[in-house]
Amino acid sequence: MQKYTVVVCDHIHEAGLKMLEEDKNINFIMAADVDKKELVEKIIPTADVAITRSSTDVDANFIAHAKNMKAIVRAGVGVDNVDIPGCSKEGIIVMNVPTANTIAAVELTMTHMLSCMRMFPYSHDHLKNQRIWKREKWYGYEMKGKKLGVIGFGNIGSRVAKRAQSFEMDIVAYDPYIHPSKVTDLDMTYTKNFEDILACDIITIHTPKNQETLNIIGEKEIAKMKDGVVLINCARGGLYNEEALFNGLKSKKIRFAGIDVFNKEPATDNLLLDLDNICVSPHLGANTFESQYNIGTQAAQNAIEAAKGIAYPHAMNLPIDESKIPSFVKPFLEMGQKIGFLESQMNKSQIIAIKVSGHGEIASYVDSLSTFVAVGAMSQNSDDTINYVNAEFVAKEKGIKIESEALVDSSVFKNLITIKLTTAEGTTSVSATIFDDGVKRIVAIDGFDIEVPLKGDMILFKNSDVPGVIGNIGSTLAKHNVNIADFSLARNSESQALAVILVDDIVDEITLNELASLDACISVNYVKI
């Protein structure tokens, strides 16, 4: 059994650690408390995948020692401390977990917004710590009817806007990288003019930190704002210029600010803390028990999938520009990679060709899709580290032909992909789609129309279509204590049947050999996704 080494460089939730410990294919190293020099020089060279947080810098020195590294999982949203170009150059995939702490960050933003409008932390301190009862000192403002400017309308910004809308606020959103309908369909205002944001009563920002967004609010922008504006930043330090923010608060141009993030952290000596019209928190955007659980388990799952070459969820250095593709495309890319991985297990032999076909809107993206499929298919049977960066090169080097074709719309499915894998032993074909419930489903395997969720451990049993087969399969699995989670069956015109059986337990070679020995059996495969 091949084992992959996953190194956890920083602390994550124990549920994530348990997932790594329990996976029999993973050699798990907990190195969160190891000296960073020792970590980089002695442990990282052995790692297939590393899980990091903000305490570990993935810099040139780290990358130089990551000789066997397939992927790095940043357990969180921000990748400020990861040298992504450097990783790409060495063929290392960088992933994050962008949605794990979404709700925590959204709710903290709303907390700061309410605190600023009602000066809640100060009135609390007045009564609780100073024991002063002075109601007339604490007149605040209502959020109803106020105009909220939202900079960045992604996972967090859009949810903040929805919650603010429930307070009967008017929402103005600025995000040049989304389609305006994402905003207007919610009965909110979309703008391409940043001046419209500066005219709002409250402004909140939810963007990554990069050259475009660094100091996006400075002296010039604050001067254009209305007197008494409220500013919120629970995203990244440096998006608001701190000197300009300090001056604006001191002059009362900015009536109040709610800040969770700072240029330099810990921010115990930051000048902003000297002001009496600011609510602050020590970078608590992800600090809920729920989000830490989500971050830990999602990071662990991403690391496991990356180590095995199954998929690289939320990869940051993809072979495509995510800002230029519709949101529906990425799940199909990830699904294509998983199908490639599945088919390489069904057809365990030297790969000769990979053909990817797309029906519907997804047909416009089959070239990108073919890269993902190739990564999934080749990772199972190659000694090389296969990823999005080098997949095409490795395929060419091995003489594997990769084709893609855009077909007319399917009459049955809105979007459909079909992946045909040809090896020295034969050809397999799998078609799949994603339904409105977001679940990835196989809808055909080798000419059999069959609907199966794309997940878990499954047995594919092809047989002559004669009585008694299902009973024989069930009794054989029961004999070996293998529990059936789902059983799907399809038939073709050649008097053959295909059973796809999802199981809860590992199926060993003895069980598979016994299934293969059944009289009606044509073939049996065991695949793990």
CA distance 368 to 163: 36
Find the Cα–Cα–Cα–Cα dihedral 320, 323, 326, 330, rounded to 10°: 50
> What amino acid positions are annotated as catalytic residues?
236, 265, 283
Task: Report DSSP letters for 385-408, one per residue.
Answer: ---TTTHHHHHHHTT-EEEEEEEP
Helices 469-479 and 509-516 cross at an angle (nearest 10°) of: 160
Q: Which of 431, 410, 437, 405 is nearest to 336 (CA)?
A: 431
Q: Are 109 and 156 in contact (CB under 8 A)?
A: yes
Alpha-helical segments (H) within 51-101: 60-65, 84-89
What tokens does 34 get? Answer: 């190891």
CA distance 178 to 129: 46
What tokens does 204 get? Answer: 């909140």
Start-to-end CA distance of the chain, whole Å, equals 16
What tokens does 428 get? Answer: 């397999």
Burial of 434 (0-12, 13-18, 19+ CB in 10 A): buried
Here the contacts of 183-191 (C-beta below 8 Å, separation 24 or greater) are 183/153, 186/158, 186/161, 186/162, 188/161
What tokens does 429 get? Answer: 């074909």
Alpha carbons within 13 angstroms on the beta-carbon side of residue 238 total 12
Alpha-helical segments (H) within 90-239: 102-118, 120-128, 155-166, 181-184, 194-198, 219-224
**For 101-116, b where at least 16 C-beta lie within 10 A, e where not — what string?**
bbbbbbbbbbbbbebb
CA distance 57 to 35: 13
